[in-house]
Structure 1
Amino acid sequence: MRALKDYSLKEWVAAEPLFHRLRRARNVLVDRAYRRRTAPGQAELVARLRESRAPALAFTIAFNLPEAIALLADGMDRFAPGIPLVVCDNSSKPEARVAIAALCAARGLPYCPLPPSPFKGARNGSRSHGVALNWVLHSLIRPVAPKVFALLDHDLVPLAPVDLPGLVARQPAYGMVRHGDRFGGWYLWPGYSVFDLDALGHLPLDFGTDTPLTLDTGGQNWGVLYRTLDPAQLERATTRTAWIADPATGTPEPYLLADAWLHVGGAGHRGGGARALATVRAAYDADPEGLLARLLETATD
């Protein structure tokens, strides 16, 4: 949250500081009310995850694309077989929840149907994602208390062996750094971030947005955690643009490559998430072990 002294006279005249603080107070109340809700099978899932004694746990927020969860699960099975993938379903479409639940049951993936989001519509996507992550943090991660946990976007797929605990062996958090448009704040994208809960468990982590600081989902952790860290001293994800040809047109399309993780993206462009997923799925299925090397040959910074 921006300090009051950082607002301009024009912003004060427009009452923007008051508006931002009222909206933040509303979001906090909504988040806390949502956090108190329970999910079917929640207690059994917590017990299952505790018993796994895995070196790390990976959590993904599913949203309406069973095909994305299938691709992420395939990649985790191949490149991170000892890391449970916990699918937390924030889908707005009932049929998608049914499909994702069935997929997880068939594959033996830990599954949690999140309570319906208090935020609806495309305009509220970031806030819906944020309250879902906070629910997962307080209802699953803290009760299970894994030493290390990762947050992965549902349309991410690893293309090389994964060592999540190793990424935070010498620092409390690791991931892809994103900066705000103004004011100097930064945060780790919660689509690819890893945390040492032993080091951070005492902090009131908050994966909500910080709109006044122009920080998206996860930006509230700027004031809680990231402002105390020197980004120059942190190891962070290497990001590149990878190019994969659209099978229908032959035209190379850009995709984010964070370390060895390929982000499908494309929910709002390139024909939508399903089309981009089909393109990446075809490339992955053709050569899962060699796809990363091929992408790096033409990747751009």
Structure 2
Amino acid sequence: MRDLTDYSVKEWLTATPLAHRLRRARNRMVDRIYRDRPGEGQAQVVEAMRGAPVAAFTVAFNMPDAIAFLSDAMGRFLPGTPLVVCDNSTNAEARAAIAGLCAARGHPYCALPPSPYRGGKNGSRSHAVALNWIYANLVRPAAPRVFALIDHDLIPLAPADLAASLAGQPCYGLVRHGEGNAAWYLWPGYSVFDFAAVKDLPLDFGTDTPLTLDTGGQNWSVLYRALELPRLRMASRQRVYLADPETGETEHFLLTDRWLHVGGAGHRGGGPGALARVRKAYDADPQGLITALFASGPLAAG
């Protein structure tokens, strides 16, 4: 959150600092109310993950195919890492399909309480309250030694050791920066935490609008601000391209370390189609897909 001294005279004249603080107070109240609501399967997940060496949590949202893809890829490349599926879907049929998939494949599953942001107009806040609920009701009581937050459409394309990525650090992941300031945060779609290092901190995965930080940005003031980013190892970030064999056109994606982010599978116009195209390429050659991504177009900073 910006300090009061950081606001300009013009911002003070338009009551911008007051508006920001009122919005923040409202968001915190909504979070507190939501965190107190029970989720179906909550106790079972806590028991299953209690003291686990590592646990990966993903927020499902109306895309059973995304969960199936993530499940298959993690089973291939991270077979020892349990995938905990926390369902924030607004579509009842999608929830049923995701629950059935998790039951069939043995993934711990928790149906989150209905989101207070169900109109589809505030995806960042919906994601944030879901993550805060997960941290308060699943991660903290289960206390896995390492926990990771993974987007439901972030697909591993090579073996990965989430716990080893920390190697003495409190956190690891994909860094994102604020605009016009020094603030930064880890994208909660790919972030890993040492539970012992953060368990006494009031982690908050909310947005920080004044600092232009999206979901997870509130942890700038809680955790990241005290860290020296240049001294930390963090995830790589590249823009990669995949050719559509039917049209010959290329589509760009984000590759962070060796995880491919299909991007917006739950909401953007071409999301489900993009997921299907990447899935088709993966099924044809899981080991070779990462080579195809590198070979299919130029690389640039994402």
Question: Scaled by the length of structure 2, what TM-score is found?
Answer: 0.96
Correspondences of 1:184-203 after superposition (within 5 Å) = 184-203=182-201
Q: 207, 222, 225: which one pairs with 1:224?
A: 222
**Does residue 300 of structure 1 match 2:299?**
yes
- Residue 76 of structure 2 is matched in structure 1 by 78
1:246 deviates by: 2.9
Shift, 1:248, TM fit: 4.3
Q: Specify the alignment match of 2:7 in structure 1.
A: 7
Distance in 2, matches of 1:89 and 1:139, equals 14
Match of residue 131 from structure 1: 129
Instruction: Tell which deviates more after alignment, 240-249 or 37-46.
Output: 240-249
Q: Secondary structure at the match of 2:122?
A: helix
**1:244–1:205: structure 2 CA closer, same or farther, 3 Å change rule?**
same
Residue type at the aligned position of 2:36:
R
What is the CA–CA distance in structure 1 between the aligned matches of 2:279 and 2:298, rounded to whole Å? 18
**Equivalent residue, structure 1, for 2:53:** 55
Q: Is the 8 A contact 1:54 1:84 kept in 2?
A: no
CA distance in structure 2 between the partners assigned to 1:249 and 1:22 by the alignment: 50
Q: 3-state DSSP class of the match of 1:95?
A: helix
Residues 25 and 148 from structure 1, CA distance in 2 versus in 1: closer, same or farther, beyond 3 angstroms? same
Tell me the equivalent position of 2:159.
161
Letter paired with 2:78? A
* Other-structure match for 2:64: 66
Q: Which runs of 5+ in 2 are unaligned?
A: none
- Structure 1 residue 294: deviation in Å? 2.7
Runs of 4+ in 1 over 3 A off after TM superposition: 266-269
Q: What amino acid sits opposite 1:35 in the alignment?
A: R
Once residues 128 and 182 of structure 1 are traced to their aligned partners in structure 2, the CA distance between those partners, rounded to angstroms, is 26
1:38 aligns with 2:42: no
Q: Contact conserved, 2:242 with 2:292, CA < 8 A, in 1?
A: no
Give unpaired runs (5+ residues) of structure 1: none
Whole-angstrom distance in 2 between the partners of 1:46 and 1:24: 30
Residue number in structure 2 paired with 1:183: 181
| Aligned-partner SS, 1:279 | helix
Query: How many residues end up aligned between the 2 structures?
Result: 298
Residue 31 of structure 1 aligns with an amino acid whose one-letter code is D
Q: Deviations over 1:227-281 (max 9, x none)?
A: 1111111101111111112344221000000000000014454x42110100110
Letter aligned with residue 83 of structure 1: T
Distance in structure 2 (CA, Å) of the matches to 1:218 and 1:76: 24
Q: Following the alignment from structure 1 to structure 2, what is the Cα–Cα distance between the partners of residues 247 and 207?
A: 39
Give distance in 2, aligned partners of 1:21 and 1:247: 51
| 8 Å CA contact retained: 2:52, 2:143 | no
| Structure 2 Cα separation of the partners of residues 163 and 65 of structure 1 | 26
- 1:30 and 1:63 map into 2 onto residues whose CA distance is 20
TM-score normalised by length of structure 1: 0.96
Aligned-residue CA RMSD in angstroms? 1.3
| 1:109 paired residue among 107, 110, 116 | 107
Aligned mate of 1:253, from 240, 251, 254: 251
